[in-house]
Each structure stands twice: as structure tokens, then as C-alpha cells.
Structure 1
Amino acid sequence: MITADTVFLVVDDTDTMRKVNSSQLERLGARQILTAANGKEALTLLRARKVNVILSDRNMPVMDGLTLLREVRSDPKLAMLPFIMITAESSRAQITEAIAAGVSNILIKPYTANDLSLRIVRAMNHRPRLHSPPVIAEPAPQESTEEKCRPTLLVVDDVPDNLALIAGLFQDEYRVLAVRDGHRALAICTSETPPDLLLLDVMMPNMDGFELAQHLRSHPSASRIPIIFITAMNDPAAQLRGLELGAVDFVSKPVDPKSLHLRVSNLLRLVEQRNDLQQQYDTMMELEQLREESSCISRHDLKAPLCNILGLARSLLEGGNLLPRQLQMLHSLEADSQNLLGMIDLDGDIYKIETGSFELKPVTVELLPLVRSLCDSARLTYQAKKLTIEVAAQDTSESAPVLASGDALLCFSLLNNLLKNACEAAPEKSRVRLTLTPTDPIELVIENQPAVPATFRSRFFEKYASHGNSRGTGLGTYSAKLLAEAQKGSLELEVDDEANLTRLRLQLPSWGVA
């Protein structure tokens, strides 16, 4: 997968990390490596040079990795580039945010060359969710047997008896490596399979424990290896120096076997938690890719039967000999089918809005006939509830258009979601009232019973939040607010507890008003 022709861009604000990442890529076979100190420099390079894979740190000055990712995904010429995000500390929310922005893979520091190679292969097989058909990726390589083995301890001491004693304490539970000098330990710790924990003597010839620790802290695959210093030194200044170099514990010689065993067990539990976190992020990436591919397939499969329904409706309309009520229903069926096809295509726009890459190209949208058409369809859909659905246009005549500045399909989906939400929430034989006012901005108020419960109001516009409807997805009001704001408008919730009413106040820019 990685060839001499593959061009990598390494983005990190630390010069040492750029050099180390470049060195790891070279060991994997890369020969063309560009570097940038921040997202802004990276964008300049990307627009001037051909790049095949981006490796970017998340936290950087000037422009961080997440902003760079969004810029890349919003540029048609760069949008399909594999983008690997490298991070030291990230919450689940931050990882979700990166996935939503279209990251190809995520790598947690510290990492080995094997870890990097695996994520590069996965990233180059992954395709970001842009409005395109699914790509069938080759199977990702399986984790090596060595990665699944028992935790590895590296014991470093220049005294053979000490090595034998400490190694003997752990050899039944862990994979134990033992070396007698700092140079050999450094080579193991910076290899493609570093140990999980280092038990390190301080006083050694050639390279002592402090010097070794200092070298390790500047290397990405070794910088976070937990170090326990095992030493006869009791000098507080020496212990302070060890802590400054990243030591997590000091054990005095002669060693108490039970105490050392407990310390090692506790530290390795933390290492296991870190490994589990990387696995969780990998799983999140895999699930997101499956969801994207499933979404693409579903959109494709839904279009064929919808086109058939649309064709049948048009054939019946062209056949004639229909009663007025039948004509009305067929026209409604035709319009709804056409709009549903548009809404399937809208899925790509929703994704772009969520990731900040949507570009609005406003046109005039005549709202009054659109609102009335949606209300006609809603009366048919919810006729079993015997709802009264009213449309009131304030301060305008029947012939005067109410022109908004926006996107026709986004307006349709926005209004349809709001009306559907109001009708589903409204009790039987109640009233749903829509009031359109042609001010600047244009205002549409949708009012229905009952009042949204106080405990749910703060979550009303949250994604997947639903109340009182077991079949609800929790996407209606979320996407409506998203679509309103994408058109430079707003959507607000108002509740009248005394009258037991819920009001949604939508504002959209008016077209052509100074």
C-alpha cells in the first residue's frame, strides 16, 4: 500500500515530532514526505503540491487539526484525501466531532510504526462520506499475534543477579525482556514493538537511567512508556529529577517483591485502559464507515420504488376520467413523491452542514404556496386525528408573494419537519396554526398543543432527543434548526404553560429587502 510514490504530509507544531513521524514513515517505505507546522501551512502546501495521505496533530496554533480537516473536506480538489488525526488526549465527544468532520482514522499517542502502518492502510481504504456511491474497501490487515500477546515488561539493570530476581517475579504473568545497558534498552523502546512498562535501574555505566528516560520522552512510540525507577539512591533531588523525566514510581533496593508486584499490576491496568480506548476509537471509525456505506446503499435502493410511484401517479393523471377528489389526491401523491426524492438527495447537504462544509447559494423561495401545499398534504396524512390545520398570512394579500432568501429544497424539508412534528404532537381534534408574517426577516410561527414538558425543553433541538413518541427518531427538530441556520435564519422554541401551547418561531431572510 505504501510505495515510494506515495506523498505524505506530516502536520505538527513540534519540530521533533515532525522529524520522528517522518522517520517512521521512511521505515515503512515512504520516500516523499512534506511537513507543515500548522493547518494554515498545510493548506498552502496541499494547494500547491500533490499529496496522497495527511497525518495531522489535533492541537496546534494558528489552525488546529480539526479546522484543517474541515477545510480539506470542503475543497472539491482535496475532499477525498486520506486524513489521519493524531491526538494525545481526546474525549469521546471530540472523537465523534472528528468522525463527523470526515476523518479517515484516529491514532492515539504514543504509537508504534506498526500502529501507524495499520492506520495508513485503513485510511487509504476508507472514503470520507461525500455525496457519492459507496466504495467497497479491501479488508484491513489483521492485528498481528504479537500485538495480542501478554503485556511486556522491560527490566534494565547492569547487575545480572538483579535482572534475574526481578524477571523471575513476573515471568509467569507477563512477557519479560531483560537487558544490562541503556543503549540496548533504548533500541527496544523505540522499536516497532516497545514494552508496556519499563523497570529501570538508575546507576549504570555508559548510559544511566536518567539519560535513557530523557531519550525516551522525545520519541512518539516511547514517550509514554511508564517508568518505575529501581534504585539504591535515596536522595530527594535524584527522585525529583526522575519525576521530571516522567517516572511514575520509585522502588528502593533491596526490592520488596510483593510491593513491586502490586505497583506493576496497577500500572499495567492503566496501560490496558489506554489500549482499550484506542480500540474503542477504531471501532467507532469502523461503525461510522459502515453507516456511511449503508446510507449510500439505502438512498440508492429507495430511489427506484419512489420513481415507480411517481411514474404511476403521472400515468393516472394523464389518463383522465378522475373525480376532483381523486385528482387532488394524485397531485398530492405526485408532489410528495417528487419532494421525497429531493429529500433523499438532501442527506448529502445535511452532512455538509454538520461538518461546516455547506455552501449556501440563495435563491428566491415563495413561502406561502409552499406552506399551504404542505398543510394540504398534512390534512390528508393526519385526517384520522381530525386536526384543524390553519394557515394565516399576516399583512399580505392573496396575490402578494412572500419571498425568502434561501434554498428551495432546504425550505421544504425544514417546513415539512416542523409541521409533521406539530401534527404528531397535537392531540386529536386539536388545532395546529401556522402564521406567516412578511417582515424582514420573514417570520413563521407554528403553534400546537400541548406545551413541551419542562424537563425536555433544554433538549428539544438535540440530535436523537425524542419525547412522547416511541417511533420518533429525534431528528425532526434537530435537522429543522440545522437547516434554518444554514440559510442564515433561526428557529426558537417558545412555551406557554398557561395556555398549554408550544410555539416554534422560524425566521428566514427576506429576498430583496434593503
Structure 2
Amino acid sequence: MNLARLTFLVVDDVPAMCQITANQLRALGAENIITAGNGADALRLLQTRQVDLVLSDWNMPLMDGLELLRHIRASAELADIPMVMVTAEADRDRIAQAINSGVSDLLVKPYTRQRLEDKVANALSRRARPVGEPLAPLAQPAPTPRPTLLVVDDTPDNLRLIADLFDGQYRVKVAHNGPKALAMCTSDSPPDLVLLDVMMPGMDGFEVAQRMREHPASAHIPIVFVTALTDDAARRKGLSLGAVDFVSKPLDPDLLQLRVQNFMRHIAIHMQRQAEYDVLLENARLREEVERMLRHDIKGPLAGVLGMAQQLASASGLAPDHAMQAGLIAATAQQALDTVQLSSDLFMIETGNYRLEPVAVDVAAILHQVAGSARAAYAAAGNVQITIDAPLSGSMAAGDPTLVQAVVYNLVKNACEAAAPGGHVAISLLDSQPMLVTVTNTGAVPPAMRERFFDRYASSGKRQGTGLGTYSAKLLTEAMHGGVTMATDDAQNRTTLTITLPAYNT
């Protein structure tokens, strides 16, 4: 891939890290690189400059990387720009937030230039897979490479002894002086742990450690000093330079192996984190693709059924009962299409990527439609009496018709299922600002359910209840800048759900 033709935006609040990342991109062939010190500055640049890829740190002042990502994905003009998040984040919930917000890839600190190249190439080459193209298998964790151990000593016998001791366990590199060790630690493939002799001619171990800590590419590398110095002053100096341990000469091979193994265990966990995040990201992407395919594959046949049923219902010479049946088929197909669209909207709301375009919604008409359907389903069997107190039409809210229909349907259905046999469900509308819709049913919500009534999968006393109806109703109303609340009256043995929606102002 020719990176010279592309423009990269590097975002980091540490200027040195910005420069290092920019230099790494230039080494990969990039020529057009702009930088920003935080998400807010990056967003301003994106609004004025053409950018092909954003490479952003996570933790920054003013606006962090996650907030920047959400702003990008919420903008119609910027939403398609790939973004790679650079992070040392270990909290899986936070990583899930980035994935759900649409991050293109995750790059775990510290990283090598090769890993940066892989992530940039993945983010730039990833495309929406055409419908019908076979799915890739679910991602499995990539094999974690062996950690790299750098041994630094000016004595050849010591180098050979330590290198042979760890050969086969780790990738072992050696350096016989300070400058060579420093060059290896600040290279594109730095070691994971350094065993560093203190007493060396020219640049001693303390100076190597000092310079490593001053360079962003090597500042994170753990150092174990291997030395014949045993005085407290030397130990204090080493610890002040970030040493994680001291090993005394002459060496005890068994003790040295145990100490190195303990540190390498922590390093291996860190290296595995990148592989785990890669799997989380890829599996989330595959789930999105499966859902997109299903929505597409279902919508096509349903649209065909709807069209044919509408044509049949309007055909001349059709018997009245046949025309009625064709009309019912058309209405059912339309409801199924709306449900498919609703699943897409609900996913966008849950991931923070939904953008409401409010229109006038006749809530009164929807209430009567849902009440009629509910009577057919429940009252016909003599189980539940359903009443409605609302005008036939004309009460207009600002929102999305499909979302309002889904909210009312879910809450009325929930009320009918919760009402005891022979119970009552009352639907009423108050045309105010905001508009209020109440759904009241006989039967009080059990005390143990009240605190989590709107939680996902919360259900009680319903054999086939999924616990998604009230959860989705809450999300959908809030997406339309409204809300839904629940109140119980134990004395009267009833439950009331109150929906608030902004009134439509002409």
C-alpha cells in the first residue's frame, strides 16, 4: 500500500510520542502527517483537513481518544475515516466501549514499528464486505511471540553464560557495551527485559538506564541490574533510575532464572492483551456483519411479500374476505419490516451511533392501532379487558414513528402479559408539554423486580418473557429525548408505566 499519497493525523498529548509515531509512519513511507495534542484540537483539524487515517492515544486532556472516536463516528462527513486507538488500557469494559463506538483497530502500548505497520494496513484495507461474500471464521488468538531478553555486559564470559542460561526460553540478544545496548533499546524492535551490567567502560549501566528513561521508546522497558556493587548508595541510584531488581555477582544461575521468569510472566500477560483485544475486535466486527446480512436477507423477501399482498388486496373482483386476508398479510409483512429496521436502530442506540431525525408522530393513532391489535390477541380469549382514553388522531409528538410504535407495542404487550386473568389494561394520553402516555395494568410488579425493571433480560412470572421489552422501551424513548418510568400501587394492586415524549411544535 502506498502511504505517500495518504494523510495521517497523529493525536497524543506528549509531544515526544507524537514525534516518535510520526517518524515511525515516515519510515513506513508516509509523507503527509499532521499532529494534535488532544481530541478537541484533532476534531478541529478534521473539520478543515482531508485525513485518511487517525492514530490517537486514549488518555488525553480536554477530549480523550474515546470521545474523539464518538465525535468522528457521529459525524456524517467524518464517520468513514478509520481510527486506530493506541492504549495501555487493561479494563475490558473500556475496550468494549471503544469497540462498540466503532474503533477500527487497537494498538497496545508499548508496540514495535512492525505492529504499527500491521495495524495501519488493517485499518486502511478493511472494507464493508459485500452481501453474499462468505464470512471469515471467528478469529482465534494469534500465537504470542517469545519475549526478548537483552543481556548487556562487557565481559564475554558473562555474556555467554547468561545467554546460554536463557537460550530456548526467550529470544536472547547481547550487547558488549552501553552505546550498543542503548541503540537496541531505542530501535523499532526493543527488548522486553534488560539484564544490565553496571560497571562497564565508557557508558556504564547507570548512564544507559538514565538515557533509556529519557527516550519514550525505551522508557517502559524493565531493567534488572547485574552487578558486583552491593552498597546501599548504588542500589538507591539504580532504583531511582527505574530498576525493578538487583542481581549480585557472582551469579547464582537458579536464582537468576527464577527472577527473570517472574518478570517475563508479567510481560507475557501484557503481550497476550494485544492478541485478546484483536480477537474481541474481530469477533465484534463479524457479529455486525452477520446482523447486517440477516437484516438485508430478511428485508428483501419481506418487501416482496408486502408488495404482492398489497397488489392482491387492491385487485378488482377479489372476494371481500380474501381482500381482508390479503390486507392482513400486508400489514403483518409491514410490521415485520419495521421490526427488522428497529433491530438496526436499537443496535445503533446501544453503541451510541444513533442520530435522531425527528418528525411529527401521531401518537393517538398509534395508541388506537396497538390497542386494537392487543384486543384481538388477549381480549378475544376473555383474559384481559383493554380500554383507551385518547382522541382517534391528532396528538403529535416529535420523534420517530417506528420507535414510538415499538415503545407502545412493547409496553402494552408487557402490561397484558402481566395482568392477571380477567384483569384490566388502561391506556390514556395527556396532550401536554411534554406529552404523557400511561399504561396501567392490574397486578403489581414484585418488589424484587422493581429496582431492575428496565434492566436488560429482567423478567418475572412470564414463561416466555425475554426481559427485552421494557429495556428497549427505555432506550428508545431516551433516544427521542423522552423517558419512561414505572410506579406500583400495592394497595390497589396495579402498575403504571408513564411514557414522556416531546410534543411536536409546528
Q: TM-score, normalised by structure 2?
A: 0.89
Q: Deviations over 1:109-136 (max 9, x none)?
A: 10111111111122123358xxx96697
- Could you tell me the percent identity over the aligned residues? 45
2:479 aligned partner: 486
Q: CA deviation at 1:206?
A: 2.9
RMSD, matched Cα = 3.2
2:155 aligned partner: 159
* Count of residues paired in the alignment: 503
1:33 aligned partner: 33
Q: Which moved more, 1:344-353 or 1:432-441?
A: 344-353
CA distance in 2, matches of 1:41, 1:65: 11
Of 433, 436, 440, the match for 2:429: 436
Q: Residue type of the partner of 2:166? A: F
CA distance in 2, matches of 1:350, 1:221: 43
Evaluate the alpha carbon distance shift between residue 231 and residue 422 of structure 1 in structure 2; reply closer, same or farther with a 3 A threshold: farther
1:280 aligned partner: 276
CA distance in 2, matches of 1:138, 1:208: 56
2:373 aligned partner: 377
Q: CA deviation at 1:497?
A: 4.8
Alignment of 1:100-499 (within 5 A): 100-127=100-127, 148-219=144-215, 221-319=217-315, 320-323=318-321, 330-381=326-377, 386-393=382-389, 398=391, 401-426=394-419, 429-448=422-441, 451-465=444-458, 474-497=467-490
CA distance in 2, matches of 1:512, 1:139: 49
Q: CA deviation at 1:20?
A: 0.7
SS in 1 for 2:386: strand
Given that 1:71 and 1:357 are in contact with CA atoms closer than 8 Å, whether structure 2 keeps it comes out as no
Given that 2:436 and 2:500 are in contact with CA atoms closer than 8 Å, whether structure 1 keeps it comes out as yes
CA distance in 2, matches of 1:406, 1:201: 70
SS in 1 for 2:437: strand
Evaluate the alpha carbon distance shift between residue 3 and residue 305 of structure 1 in structure 2; reply closer, same or farther with a 3 A threshold: same
CA distance in 2, matches of 1:452, 1:207: 75
**Is 1:92 aligned to residue 88 of structure 2?**
no
CA distance in 2, matches of 1:37, 1:506: 44
Q: CA deviation at 1:276?
A: 1.9
CA distance in 2, matches of 1:430, 1:360: 37
CA distance in 2, matches of 1:243, 1:2: 45
CA distance in 1, matches of 2:465, 2:208: 59
CA distance in 1, matches of 2:325, 2:383: 18
Given that 1:432 and 1:448 are in contact with CA atoms closer than 8 Å, whether structure 2 keeps it comes out as yes
Q: TM-score, normalised by structure 1?
A: 0.87
CA distance in 2, matches of 1:205, 1:228: 19
CA distance in 2, matches of 1:178, 1:499: 81
Structure 1: which 5+ runs fail to align?
none
Q: Deviations over 1:294-321 (max 9, x none)?
A: 1111111011221233234324422442
Q: CA deviation at 1:470?
A: 7.4
2:504 aligned partner: 511
Evaluate the alpha carbon distance shift between residue 466 and residue 183 of structure 1 in structure 2; reply closer, same or farther with a 3 A threshold: farther
Q: Residue type of the partner of 1:116? A: L
Given that 1:362 and 1:405 are in contact with CA atoms closer than 8 Å, whether structure 2 keeps it comes out as yes
Q: Residue type of the partner of 1:288? A: A
Evaluate the alpha carbon distance shift between residue 352 and residue 258 of structure 1 in structure 2; reply closer, same or farther with a 3 A threshold: same
Q: Which moved more, 1:283-292 or 1:332-341?
A: 332-341
CA distance in 2, matches of 1:322, 1:309: 20
Q: CA deviation at 1:90?
A: 3.8
Given that 2:482 and 2:501 are in contact with CA atoms closer than 8 Å, whether structure 1 keeps it comes out as yes
Q: CA deviation at 1:329?
A: 6.0
1:50 aligned partner: 50
Evaluate the alpha carbon distance shift between residue 138 and residue 353 of structure 1 in structure 2; reply closer, same or farther with a 3 A threshold: closer
Q: Deviations over 1:40-80 (max 9, x none)?
A: 21122212221111000111112111111111112222111
Q: Residue type of the partner of 1:268? A: M
Q: Residue type of the partner of 1:294? A: V
Q: CA deviation at 1:387?
A: 3.7
Given that 1:127 and 1:135 are in contact with CA atoms closer than 8 Å, whether structure 2 keeps it comes out as no
SS in 2 for 1:4: helix
Q: Residue type of the partner of 1:402? A: S
CA distance in 1, matches of 2:3, 2:135: 17
